Chains A and B, each alone.
Chain A
Amino acid sequence: MNHEETKAVRFEQISKSFDAAPLLESVSLEIARGEAFCILGRSGTGKTVLLKLMVGMLKPDRGKIFINQEEITALDRAGLLRVRKAVGFLFQNAALFDSISVAENLALPLRHHRGKTENQIEDIVRRKLAEADLEKYRNKFPADLSAGLRKRVGLARALVLDPAILMIDDPSCGIDSIAACEMNRLLLDLKQNRKITLVFVSDRMGGVRRIPDRFAVLDAAHVIFCGSADELERSDNRLVRQFASHEDL
């Protein structure tokens, strides 16, 4: 296996602006298969944009993005939909389909892609709900759930197609500390027991510290740090160190 084949995600000199204000400038990143990678940054530094660029929901102004060696910046809509089957995405607010039940939220993508019978779909949904400890909420509607539960349902839905890459937009955002711990435990379990590539963004190192193999720090449109947790703590850059020390506050 050559160097490129080991990469799940590769950013090459990506730039993205909104209303002529540059949010990302010449950002390059490589995330290996099976790696857990966390992108840290203050609010508004473009972390979510970075994730959305990775799944082709946004187009970069310049540069190339590769997912499993396929350049997604060159793909049309049909090509992007094909690539996304291998990528799960958990949104910051979970973005559950609010007019259908929890179980239906999980069944919807299965009905679209897998050509499975209703019995098979039901089996998969039951298994995925059990993995996230959500069986008793299967008939509830998203509006009836707490933010933490919604996030867990979002995670179960993102995993329902067994993606090779899972992207998570701030796993602990908007939920209480206990729910955040449960979410982090699920992510740690994913990392340890499956060969899944985890990419997630956060504005604090706090509870997610044990999950990633590597961190990147975004600031002022650039990646100002990329390395392990230990390297992050020893960084010369004050802002980078602040992310590490924040958990001790």
Chain B
Amino acid sequence: MGIFSFQVVRAAFRPPWELGEISRQITEIGSDSVPLILAWGVAVGIVMAQLVWSSLVPFGAVETVIPAQLSRIMFREMGPLMTGLLISARVGASTCAEVAVLRLTEQIDALESLAIDSFKHLVLPRVIGCVIALPILTTLMSFSEIAGGFFWEASYSRMTFRLYFDRIFDQVGWSDYLLPTLMTVASGFIIGAVSCFFGYTVKPNAAGVRRASMHSVVFGSLLVIIADVILLKVIALWFPENKG
């Protein structure tokens, strides 16, 4: 998988680039995931608001502090991680299965026989699609989580939207949003490369496709979590003011 990822990176810097195919993949991976991201984000936001409320209020936190805590959690951890896991499941499995079927039906061999670099035509657009879509989807996820938090907060404490909105950004700086969101570029690369790798190297039978899709989701999710943990540590080391 390491060699495969290296080949992806190398191919990314070698023209020509298949811009049409890349934009098609961004649409398929990005736009088509938006409804799922929004619904998921609101649900997670409600659950997280409930958790933060029940954890902090007994220790004397005033209600107005809670939105700020919530937004830090959403922007820095829950948004990037949840988006990575969700896209790993949705896009990782479908991309892997699609590439595996292309392999099984000899369509990848057909591309190669027509002197079309299957790596540039199939793998690279999907990886770049994930890399570009992930930060955008993460932003949507974070904001829909915050919206979910507001629904819960409003129903419990009758907090106005204006007050909630002001409190949200009380303790959140650009670096709280920007760095963790940009770090999802790594998650996008992992999801794209892992799913394409398992699809590309599938064993040519039905059980092979099943196994490849399963491995794609399992390894993709695991690597997304590991990358998330490592990169958050790196951000905390480089920008200690954001540690708290």
A155 at the interface (CB under 8 A from B): no
- Number of A residues with CB within 8 Å of any CB on chain B: 24
A47 at the interface (CB under 8 A from B): no
Q: Which residue of B lies closest to A78 (CB)?
A: B117
Chain B 97-128 near chain A by CB (<8 Å), digits 1 or 0: 00000000111011111111100000000000
- In the complex, A96→B107 CA distance in Å? 6
Known: A95-B110, A96-B110, A97-B110. A84 touches B115 (CB 8 A): yes
Asked if B110 contacts A113 (CB within 8 A), the reply is: no
- In the complex, A81→B14 CA distance in Å? 15
Which residues of A have CB within 8 Å of B107? 95-98
Chain A residues packing against B (C-beta within 8 Å): 52, 55, 57, 77, 81-82, 84-85, 87-89, 91, 93, 95-98, 108-109, 112-113, 157-158, 161
- In the complex, A93→B116 CA distance in Å? 19
Asked if B109 contacts A57 (CB within 8 A), the reply is: yes
Known: A93-B105, A95-B105, A97-B107. A57 touches B115 (CB 8 A): no
- In the complex, A81→B116 CA distance in Å? 7
Q: Which one of B114, B116, B117 has the greatest number of beta carbons of chain A within 10 Å?
A: B114
Pick the residue among B109, B115, B116, B117 that contacts A91 (CB under 8 A). B109
Known: A91-B106, A98-B107. A57 touches B114 (CB 8 A): no
Asked if A81 contacts B105 (CB within 8 A), the reply is: no
Asked if A91 contacts B114 (CB within 8 A), the reply is: no
- In the complex, A108→B111 CA distance in Å? 9
Pick the residue among A77, A93, A161 that contacts B114 (CB under 8 A). A161
Chain B residues packing against A (C-beta within 8 Å): 105-107, 109-117
Asked if A93 contacts B113 (CB within 8 A), the reply is: no
For the A-B complex, the count of residue pairs with Cβ-Cβ distances under 8 Å equals 53
Asked if A81 contacts B117 (CB within 8 A), the reply is: yes
Interface of chain A, main secondary structure: mixed
Asked if B105 contacts A113 (CB within 8 A), the reply is: no
- With A55-B112, A91-B106 known, 9 other A-B pairs at CB within 8 A are A57-B112, A77-B117, A91-B110, A95-B105, A97-B107, A108-B114, A109-B116, A112-B115, A112-B116
Asked if A85 contacts B115 (CB within 8 A), the reply is: yes
- In the complex, A57→B114 CA distance in Å? 12
Q: Which residue of B lies closest to A83 (CB)?
A: B115
- In the complex, A41→B123 CA distance in Å? 36
The smallest beta-carbon distance between B197 and chain A, in angstroms, is 17
Which residues of B have CB within 8 Å of A84? 112-115
Which residues of A have CB within 8 Å of B114? 84, 89, 108-109, 112, 157, 161
List the 10 closest pairs (A to B, CB-CB), nearest first: A89-B113, A95-B106, A95-B110, A84-B115, A109-B114, A85-B115, A81-B115, A112-B116, A91-B106, A95-B107
- In the complex, A81→B16 CA distance in Å? 14
Which residues of B have CB within 8 Å of A113? 115
Which residues of B have CB within 8 Å of A161? 114-115
Which residues of A have CB within 8 Å of B117? 77, 81
Q: Which one of A57, A77, A98, A112 has the greatest number of beta carbons of chain B within 10 Å?
A: A112
- In the complex, A134→B116 CA distance in Å? 24
- In the complex, A171→B93 CA distance in Å? 35
Q: Which residue of A lies closest to B16 (CB)?
A: A112
- In the complex, A50→B230 CA distance in Å? 48
24 contacts between A and B (CB under 8 A): A55-B112, A57-B113, A77-B117, A81-B115, A81-B117, A82-B115, A84-B112, A84-B113, A84-B115, A85-B115, A87-B113, A88-B113, A89-B113, A91-B113, A93-B105, A93-B106, A95-B107, A95-B110, A97-B107, A97-B111, A98-B107, A108-B116, A112-B115, A157-B114
Which residues of B have CB within 8 Å of A77? 117
Asked if B105 contacts A98 (CB within 8 A), the reply is: yes
- In the complex, A87→B113 CA distance in Å? 8
- In the complex, A57→B111 CA distance in Å? 11
Which residues of A have CB within 8 Å of B113? 55, 57, 84, 87-89, 91, 158
- In the complex, A69→B112 CA distance in Å? 21
Q: Which residue of A lies closest to B112 (CB)?
A: A57
Which residues of A have CB within 8 Å of B111? 97
Q: Which residue of B lies closest to A157 (CB)?
A: B114
- In the complex, A52→B114 CA distance in Å? 13
- In the complex, A93→B110 CA distance in Å? 11
Which residues of B have CB within 8 Å of A89? 110, 113-114
- In the complex, A87→B115 CA distance in Å? 9
Q: Which residue of A lies closest to B106 (CB)?
A: A95
Asked if A109 contacts B115 (CB within 8 A), the reply is: yes
- In the complex, A87→B117 CA distance in Å? 15
